[in-house]
Structure 1
Amino acid sequence: MAALIDLVDPLSWLLMACLVVLAAFLQGVGGIGFAMLVAPIAALIFPQLVPGPLLALGGSVSLLAALRERQHIVPNVVVCALGGRATGSLIAVLGMTQLPIAAVNLGFAFAILGAVALSAWGLRILPSTRNMILAGIASGIMGTLTSVGAPALAIAMQNLAPAQLRASLGLILFLGASLSLVLLMLVGLFSLQQAMLSIVLYPFMLLGFALSGQLRHQVSLPLMRRLLLGICSISALVLIARTLWH
């Protein structure tokens, strides 16, 4: 463990610990935000965390959110999204060496921005069977390639009640992240060393989630929608910038 910690300078560890606390808090309140906040910065200063360790951390905080409000889970939404997510994850893993990753990233980022714009202008996007399957496919592809799979799901689920959204999305993201991790392990892209890196950051994830406990009750549906659309927009813009920068 000490050898793993020594691989990264102390300042980077401190920054990542603070980011994990903030991101877990944000996900505990709004249902998404963990990977969207951490992944772009980790890719720059702590690339060892992307994608496997961040999927492990993000999946864990998603499970905690689902368990905390499990009575609000919407089964049909979860089943449809998971079917799509499994398909998308398989597509991503099989195509990792063949897909033009930059083009895929840009395509999804602009699609998310388009959906945000339509939502902001009044289009009412509902979590129908078709929408959840399509959102699940997009989530599976992006989650496996970049650790950021929540925006497509959040767009499709934005009109659920806040507790329903947090619980259902949490369960979807946990199971989806677990599937992505298994697939990454099968192709040799998630090692024991990477798992140990995520374990080091687990206490900070737990702290951030615990801090979100009371504030989540004060989030109304309109505020939740604004929060989700804002986070999704920022995530898409960061993904565009990161893709073009590289």
Structure 2
Amino acid sequence: MDLTEQLLALLKGPTYVPQTLKGLTQLLGVRRKDERELKRIINYWVSTGELVRIKADRFCLPSDADLVTGILHVRPSGDARLAPIIEGPSIYIRADDSNVALHGDKVIVRRIRPLRVKGQRDSFPTDALFGRVIEVLSRARDTIVGTLQARRHVYFVIPDDTRIPQDILVSAPEPLGPGLKPKLGDKVVVKLLEWTHRHLNPVGEITEILGESHTPQAEYLGILHKYSLKRTA
């Protein structure tokens, strides 16, 4: 077996206990010249969600830590459904449990047992499995279309996509080129820079002006950007 197969067999073994990189190196009997390759494999699997890093820098398969990796599908209500990358049942996530994840993001979810009040109606199946997003592995996109507004000298962009729960804070508009300075009411593209907590506003940077919001041209360009379509002549 090559190193990848050996590592996978070890991780799936019935007696495996989460190990650090050093511990995995020792258990696999990896020679010094192959240590870099083992580290590369582990880092790649962590980035794809096939392997998770838990407390004390130890590694295990997501299922061993009651974790699930998948793609998040967010509803307009803010609630979401996780489609697992590895075959398995969908996991449902309430809006407050989606952390800073957005529609289409690849995330790691921890299974939970939320309190369901008897008689209270919700949109989830009666036998739904629930989870909470604990990490965003990768964004489906890092730019968002919205309308530039301001209140008391604080500038922000209101996303067109209602599945994004917060306005995006931006700096006072600066020229993006000769005669290209965003103004209030413009539809713009904003690059997401930082978002640390769901109940705090994300921070972004305006990168493109699409035109005055609600005009046909600006709305058309906004749709093209949302679906990553090319402009036609």
Query: TM exceeds 0.5?
Result: no
Q: What is the TM-score when the length of structure 1 is the normalising length?
A: 0.22
The structure richer in strand per residue is: 2
**More relative contact order, 1 or 2 (CA 8 Å, 6+ apart):** 1
Larger helix proportion of the pair: 1
TM-score normalised per structure 2: 0.23
